[in-house]
Structure 1
Amino acid sequence: MQSFGWKRKIGLSNNSAAAFTGGGSDNEELEQDVDWLTASKRPKISGLSLEDAEAKAKRLLSEGIIYAEMEKWWTAINRWKEALAYTPNDHTIHEMMAQAYIQVGEVYPAVKSAEQAVLLCPTWWGAYQTLGRAQLGLGEVKMAVLSFERATHMQPDQMELWIEDLKWAHSLLMKIKDLQAEEKRKSERLAADTAQIFELDEQIEENKNPASTTNTSKQQALPSASNEVICESNMKSQSDTHKNVDFTKMVKIRIKHCANLQLKNLKN
């Protein structure tokens, strides 16, 4: 972009010497303070008249322009602030303050001043141009492109607007969109790779689980099988015991024992 310049100071005096003289002399009082017809003191009018206010605002505006051309930005801003105290609706002062704020890197005040200039004079292409430059400093490239487009619609014969402002801002916007698209593609690839990694992990776990399940079932089957073996062995041992016992001998012993008990009772 082109360096800072005061190309839009239309209607302002370029005479540096006359800039400090306008409004410097006060109006001479032609009448006395006392009205002899009524014998009463006339009230004094406080403050400046409309002509004096405009003259002082013009002088402060011219001083600010001189300081801006000397690259004394803050001094110029202070002069313009004083001028706004007399003419707060002067859109040219707000626009020049926005330019100075851009030079000192104060992007937020620059945007505010440019927006005020647009609000006061919405049909002035210069205000939209400065607003777009301030928005670029703030990083709002899309909004800057819109501001430059409005300026070119109002003043289509300004090649500076087309080449140095709109074209350059549009190229920045395209680069930003390309970077955003590349970041989106990277994030999508990363998400796909992450999903593939999780899928592979699940497959590995599934391949491990059948073996562990088989081992567990085998381990669970072992106690039941051993229990069956033990039960079978017990039943077999019991059956073997029943086979070895002589029931006839046991009956004879039982009868003999009962007979002995009866004989013992008879003796008593």
Structure 2
Amino acid sequence: MSTSSEPGGGSPAVRCQGLGKAYQFYRRPIDQVKQVLLGGRKRYYDEYWALKDISFSIARGEAVGIIGRNGSGKSTLLQVICGITAPTVGTVRVEGRIAPVLALGAAFDYELTGRENAYLSGAILGLRRAEVTAKMGAIQDLCGLGDFFDQPVKLYSSGMGARLAFAVCAHADGDVLIVDEALAVGDEAFRQRCQALIRGFRRRGTLLFVSHDAGQVADLCDRAIWIDRGAIRADGPPEPTLAAYRRALAEEPDDPNRFHFMN
């Protein structure tokens, strides 16, 4: 993966070209040892391709929704774009600094408090401690964790962790905000605050938004990419893309064979 923050004029904020991600699965522990010792002559693992030949560009300032069934590859795609995992084939290029809600939630130190994790997450995003301190009141207000903000994150539910991750990212001054279902947690007041911040971010940055809520995608995004079985099935304006996706959900049964490994 190549990353650049140099001024690019009209260059896209995110560009994926021929992207593919395969995972190796070993049916027996001994097969992993055989792969290390004898892998030059034979493959001792099964492959699962979570992403296959993904190519698209996202312009600066564009808001793009990523939709698809569970297990279709949406979250894997965001993880590759964030640099959490490397692509097996293809390239990813990101212009500017990413503020990834999904990545920060996974990087929390569960022994630290919410406040301490806000400092840690801010450092991961490239913010100085003084910058996080200046934003701390707004972060604490947005996540709405009350007294739990100064308690260890190991006491949090998954929803509370997602609220904290979103609150930090929303105040990180990133160029690309990546949100994976963070708006599905919390009460209506929290969701409304999140949506207001996302709308404000759209005026200055680029948004990638994964959600099963078609209404949120239609409301927040000006483009939708439908991922199906690890590949792009449709890419276009939200309404027709969402309509096609809804028809597929109603007419096409969920096929468990899509999770089979390749020998």
Higher relative contact order (CA 8 A, sep 6+): 2
Which structure has the highest helix share of the two?
Answer: 1
* TM-score of the alignment, normalized to the shorter chain, above 0.5: no
**Structure having the higher Rg:** 1
TM-score, structure 1 as length reference: 0.28
Looking at secondary structure, tell me which structure has more strand per residue: 2
